[in-house]
Amino acid sequence: MRLDKFLADMQIGSRKEVKKYIKDRRVTVNGQVITSDKIQVADHDVVTFDHQPVQYQKYFYYLLNKPQGVVSATTDPRDKTVLDLLKDKDQRDDLFPVGRLDKNTEGLLLISNDGVLAHQLLSPKKHVEKEYYAEVAGILTVEDVAAFAKGIIIDGNEQTLPAEMTILAVDPKQECSQMRLILHEGKFHQVKRMVKAVGKEVTYLKRVRMGDLSLDEELALGDYRPLTEAELALLKNAVK
């Protein structure tokens, strides 16, 4: 890889800016000051900028505990986005949320620049499980569980794939319920639309799992961290 591309990819500056940094003798490769941006560097080369080592990384993966009130988008003219939650040092132009959570839905959201993995995780053909915890206005019943298990018709005359609902609690006095739901697809507002189709309403929604990757409960709302190698392996295994 050319040295200027290497540095630009690592957010040292634009291609034009890093060319100037190189000419200004601010870059070394293997201890030698380099003044040509056309030099090729490999994985084993040691590159520094202003005496600080620059380690090349192609893909980035962050596990975010999305709070309510932010949108799953790269930019938005009105609302704060999930990318706005990243610290300056982690900001990159190529990062994006993998899939969407509604503005008022909380929980697990993957932020990455790996388009191939993102496509595989979201592809209906891969049937990667997404698990949600929901609080519902209304009394969930065993009939609702059976209907979800068969797949139901939601508004817009859309047919859902079979989904696994578990009723966690029911409060007859408050006329509310708690449930977990496992989906194998990702239709727009799907959980809310499925619950509406059986005559109830979602009042709180949180995604807790994607594939075998579970939300880190130690992450406060709005916090994030890089995926571990083991967690990344779980995601990649889910799409094989």
State the alpha helices, DSSP H only, in 24-158. Answer: 115-122, 142-150
Instruction: Decide: 58 and 11 in contact? Cβ < 8 Å.
Output: no
Distance CA 213, CA 133 (A): 15
State the alpha helices, DSSP H only, in the chain. Answer: 3-9, 15-23, 115-122, 142-150, 190-197, 229-238
Instruction: With H, G, I as helix, E, B as strand and everything else as coil, classify residue 126.
Output: coil
Distance CA 62, CA 171 (A): 37
Helical (H) or strand (E) element with 61: strand 61-66
Q: Closest Cα to residue 185, out of 154, 214, 215, 216? A: 154
Distance CA 201, CA 194 (A): 9
| Structure token pair of residue 17 | 């800016």
**Burial level of 219, CB count in 10 A (0-12/13-18/19+)?**
middle
Of residues 9, 102, 144, 223, which has the active-site annotation? 102
Q: Does residue 45 have an active-site annotation?
A: no
Phi/psi for 114 (5° steps) reads -95, 95
Residues known to be catalytic: 102
